[in-house]
A = this chain, B = another copy of it.
Amino acid sequence: MDGRTPESQSGTTSGGPVSADHPAILVVRAPERPGIVAAVAAALRDAGATIVDADSHTDRTSGLFLQRIAIAGADGGDLDSSALLPRLLAVQGAFALTFELHRPTDAARLVLLCSRHLHCAADLLARCALGELDATVVAVLSDKPEGRELAERHGVPFEHLPPGDDRAAQERLVGDRLAALDPDLVVLARYMRVLPGWLTDQWFGRMINIHHSFLPAFIGADPYRKAHERGVKLIGATAHYVTEELDAGPIINQDVVRVSHRDAVPDLVRKGRDVERIVLADAVRWHLEHRVVVFGNRTCVFA
């Protein structure tokens, strides 16, 4: 989803037939320059493409222009990529832009990493089963044994990868399994181990974590206990792309829920679960629909 069907420099084409209900998604990124909107729009028009939906943003600080366009062919039908790609490549040359063109694909392939707290994994599995997410969970990996029953109930292979005495060996194993499974997206669904930089680098932009606080407050372990000690009146959750620095990657989505003096730590944990679930599920859906563009350490979310 994140690079499986990008047809940029290479110009290759893949993915299924396009329609107004299943449009292709063009993501453009370029230094801001007058005429860029007109040039992209003209390329689409000349290729017979219909704009189903469009959103754009120019970041004033960096002068970066970002655009997401949902496109179909003439009259909302299939798109003629052989007509479109040369035109986009011509614009690319003139405006120093990069683009990705994602045709509709089969359901995205997800791998979930989890530990003992299974509510986020359970929620994503249920959404896939209900058709709310256009995705298939191809494996659940965990450093703990608890998730097996959940995964198997959904017919999904479960792999228990305990760290034992050798942390680095377990990390290599996780890396090997992810490489072999080759998913479109890895979701850390309350996986309670810090991943090494070589692994987060490898999956940057294709690995989403849910942290159970309103970042940057309460980074690291035990955020609900810390929130209780500080006496905050709201608790939150944050979905972000994973980077080497703990809980510091580009934020995709956040939300909070009101709490009070009546809420002890277990109440915060319970109330936080629903926030975590929904913040993560929305982040995953936006990612799969190519609505999230990372720039610097920030995200543009065309939602």
Shortest Cβ gap from A230 to chain B (Å): 6
Shortest Cβ gap from A63 to chain B (Å): 11
Residue pair A132, B273 in contact (C-beta under 8 Å): yes
Q: A81 near B: Cβ within 8 Å?
A: no
Q: Which candidate, A23-31, A123-131, A174-182, is the interface stretch facing chain B?
A: A123-131
- Smallest CB-CB separation from A33: which chain B residue? B50
Q: A161 near B: Cβ within 8 Å?
A: no
Q: A183 near B: Cβ within 8 Å?
A: no
Q: Give CA–CA (A215, B231) in the complex, Å.
A: 10
**Residues from chain B with Cβ under 8 Å of A297 in the complex:** 230-231
Q: A83 near B: Cβ within 8 Å?
A: no
**Residues from chain B with Cβ under 8 Å of A251 in the complex:** 230-233
Shortest Cβ gap from A77 to chain B (Å): 12
* This chain's copy number in the assembly: 4
Residue pair A37, B58 in contact (C-beta under 8 Å): no
Residue pair B214, A301 in contact (C-beta under 8 Å): no
Interface residues of A in 268-303 (CB under 8 A from B): 270, 273-274, 278, 281, 297-301
Residue pair B261, A232 in contact (C-beta under 8 Å): no
The count of residues in chain A whose C-beta lies closer than 8 Å to any C-beta of chain B is 66
**Residues from chain B with Cβ under 8 Å of A41 in the complex:** 37-38, 41-42
Q: A250 near B: Cβ within 8 Å?
A: yes
Q: Which of B118, B233, B262 contacts A254 (CB 8 A)?
A: B233
Q: Give CA–CA (A281, B270) in the complex, Å.
A: 12
Q: A93 near B: Cβ within 8 Å?
A: no
Interface residues of A in 99-115 (CB under 8 A from B): none
Q: Give CA–CA (A54, B56) in the complex, Å.
A: 7
Q: Which 4 A-B pairs have the closest CB atoms?
A: A231-B298, A38-B41, A217-B217, A261-B300
Interface residues of A in 10-61 (CB under 8 A from B): 34-35, 37-38, 41-42, 44-45, 48-61
**Residues from chain B with Cβ under 8 Å of A214 in the complex:** 214, 217, 232, 234, 256
